[in-house]
């Protein structure tokens, strides 16, 4: 494990041990929409999840691994919706522990650059919002490909080169240190059929923030005003509003050609496709959640 990864590992290990009022503070919205014991940006996270689930709906598969799977929420959804045998990895041992404690999903603590699995061990591999953080993303992808027999799904943010350069310059711990656009992974076309879907329309940033109505820890006047009206926003905009925003994201991306994220799907072959893929909507998975988990100390 390189020095950068080692430094980030301590930061991430601490993150997956955080609590609020004794309840584990999750990265993903594992307790449901707007629950305060999860990180914010629920709608954005649901949009990325929806893209992954719809990509998976095209295939028949029985096993899957989520690399960089955090506390196991995405793998849990896949298990529930597709009936597949799932497991995760993360370079945080606490993340793997949370996956086992909360979802009873096996987690393996390891470095993405050196995965402890056999060639073609998994029919499907998912790696979501992870390779933008790693030292050598091409080496990481080579490992993802090595363990995958059928389909590899990768999601990444699409940020400006300036933001990425600033993260590198400021040594942001576990920051986004690689820039991705829809052509970054074109070199993988020699490995199989590569497709992509753009996600996270910038036009919906304000509607997402207004609908979620999470208070912001910021002292600027505009944030103070926003925080003051969050109780009203919560009454006006409910879960149905969130579902509409999530489901509308694809239309806004295609119509206005602006995007903030990418879902890459690489078909290596060796996997059977569904004759009639299911179209998954926000309502199909947003209610899949768990009870608030009190972290033992």
Is 266 strand, coil or helix?
Answer: strand
- What average pLDDT does range 253-278 have in this prediction? 94
> Does residue 141 carry a pLDDT above 90?
yes
State the pLDDT confidence band at 246, using cuts at 50, 70 and 90: very high
Give the dihedral sign, CA 60/62/64/70: positive
- What average pLDDT does range 164-189 have in this prediction? 95
Least confident segment among 10-14, 79-83, 243-247 = 10-14
pLDDT number for residue 8: 86
Select from 120, 145, 146, 144 the least CA-distant residue to 63.
120
Q: Is residue 257 part of a domain?
A: yes
Q: Can you tell me which residue has the tokens 């078909």?
A: 267
- What average pLDDT does range 211-215 have in this prediction? 93
pLDDT number for residue 72: 98
Q: Which domain holds residue 141?
A: 3-21+39-201+253-268
- How large a percentage of the chain has pLDDT more than 70? 99
pLDDT number for residue 297: 62
* pTM recorded for the entire structure: 0.95
Token reading at 209: 């923030």
What is the crossing angle of helices 239-256 and 205-212, to 10°? 170
Q: Is residue 29 part of a domain?
A: no
Q: What is the mean pLDDT of the chain?
A: 95
- What average pLDDT does range 18-26 have in this prediction? 96
Q: Is the Cβ–Cβ distance between 22 and 37 less than 8 Å?
A: no
Q: Is residue 296 part of a domain?
A: no
**CATH code of 164's domain:** 3.40.50.150
Q: Can you tell me which residue has the tokens 């103070």?
A: 224
Q: Is residue 237 part of a domain?
A: no
Report the number of distinct structural domains present in the chain: 1
- How large a percentage of the chain has pLDDT more than 90? 90
- What average pLDDT does range 202-227 have in this prediction? 91
Please give the distance of CA 258 from its chain centroid, rounded to a whole number.
20
């Amino acid at each position: 494990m390189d020095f950068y990864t080692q430094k980030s590992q301590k930061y991430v290990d601490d993150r997956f041990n955080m609590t609020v009022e004794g309840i584990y503070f999750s990265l993903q919205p594992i307790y449901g929409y707007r629950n305060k014991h999860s990180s914010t940006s629920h709608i954005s996270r649901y949009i990325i999840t929806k893209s992954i689930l719809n990509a998976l709906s095209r295939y028949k598969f029985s096993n899957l691994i989520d690399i960089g799977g955090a506390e196991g929420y995405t793998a849990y959804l896949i298990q529930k919706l597709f009936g597949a045998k799932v497991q995760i990895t993360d370079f945080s041992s606490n993340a793997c522990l949370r996956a086992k404690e909360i979802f009873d999903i096996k987690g393996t603590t390891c470095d993405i650059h050196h995965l402890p699995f056999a060639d073609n061990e998994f029919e499907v591999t998912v790696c979501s919002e992870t390779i933008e953080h790693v030292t050598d993303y091409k080496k990481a992808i080579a490992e993802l490909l090595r363990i995958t027999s059928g389909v590899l799904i990768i999601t990444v943010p699409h940020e400006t080169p300036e933001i990425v350069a600033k993260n590198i310059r400021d040594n942001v711990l576990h920051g986004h240190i690689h820039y991705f656009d829809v052509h970054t992974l074109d070199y993988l076309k020699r490995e199989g059929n590569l497709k992509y879907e753009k996600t996270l329309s910038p036009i919906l940033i304000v509607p997402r923030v207004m609908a979620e109505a999470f208070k912001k820890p910021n002292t600027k006047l505009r944030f103070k005003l926003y925080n003051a009206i969050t109780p009203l926003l919560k009454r006006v905009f409910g879960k149905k509003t969130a579902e509409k925003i999530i489901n509308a994201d694809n239309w806004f991306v295609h119509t206005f050609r602006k995007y903030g994220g990418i879902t890459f799907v690489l078909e290596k072959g060796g996997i059977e496709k569904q004759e009639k893929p299911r179209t998954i909507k926000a309502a199909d998975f947003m209610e899949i959640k768990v009870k608030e988990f009190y972290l033992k100390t």
